[in-house]
């Protein structure tokens, strides 16, 4: 898979006459673009070095952002190559920039418990509801992002359950 990621200044200006910065992902001579959300004047763009000229008031910050965005895209390309996934430029873009879900653990659990109830699996519903109540008592809040659930979370939760069992 020979794919590349590069920062470019798109050719079509917005209504204010500013040009959008974008990451171009190319695979098999097919390109797709991901805008990074910033627009600049044409004279502030150094096309030779693919960076913003120092004449722009926020050149340093924007060049750092460009470096960060390019790094993310290239890491995504490397990850896809590592997994031997052969994909088109659009599929690569979707894989690299897939949206992060705002679904919390308790949202997922509520859907799961509702499905168990609909399916008539009352024993399983009872058991899972008990586990959820333990987790809810441990968190003290019904907002738990999946990113917060890690090894440390499980160790602390396990210790809480041991203490409750010994009490």
| pLDDT value for 101 | 64
pLDDT higher than 70, residue 3:
yes
* pLDDT at residue 9 is higher than 70: yes
Q: What is the pLDDT of residues 122-141, one digit of tens each?
A: 999 999 999 898 888 888 88
CB within 8 Å of 74: residues ≥ 6 apart: 5
Q: pLDDT band at 67, cuts 50/70/90?
A: very high
Residue 79 has pLDDT above 90, yes or no: no
Tens of pLDDT, residues 15-56: 999 999 999 988 888 888 888 889 999 999 998 998 999 999
Residue linked to tokens 């024993």: 123
Q: Among residues 30, 38, 17, 28, which one has the least CA distance to residue 8?
A: 38
DSSP string, the chain: --EEEEEEE-SS--TTSPEEEEEEEEETTEEEEEEEEEEE-GGGEETTTTEE-TTSTTHHHHHHHHHHHHHHHHHHHHHHHHTT----HHHHHHHHTPPPP---HHHHHHHHHHHHHHHT-HHHHHHHHHHHHHHHHHHSSS---GGG-SHHHHHHHHHHHHHHHH-
For 15, 105, 123, 130, 139, the CA distances from 148, given in Å and listed in that order, are 42, 10, 29, 21, 11
Q: Is the pTM of this model over 0.75?
A: no
d(CA 133, CA 107): 14
């Amino acid at each position: 898979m020979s794919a590349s990621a590069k920062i470019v200044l798109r050719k079509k200006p917005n209504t204010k006459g500013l040009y959008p910065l974008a990451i171009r992902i190319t695979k098999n001579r097919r390109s797709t673009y991901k805008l990074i959300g910033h627009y600049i004047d044409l004279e502030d763009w150094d096309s030779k070095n693919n960076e913003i000229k120092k004449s722009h008031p926020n050149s340093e910050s924007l060049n750092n952002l460009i470096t960060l965005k390019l790094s993310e895209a290239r890491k995504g390309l490397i990850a896809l190559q590592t997994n031997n996934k052969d994909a088109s430029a659009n599929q690569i873009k979707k894989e690299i920039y897939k949206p992060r879900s705002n679904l919390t653990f308790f949202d997922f659990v509520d859907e799961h418990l509702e499905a168990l109830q609909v399916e008539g699996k009352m024993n399983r519903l009872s058991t899972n509801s008990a586990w959820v109540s333990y987790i809810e008592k441990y968190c003290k809040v019904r907002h738990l992002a999946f990113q917060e659930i890690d090894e440390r979370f499980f160790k602390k939760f396990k210790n809480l359950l041991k203490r409750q069992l010994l009490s």
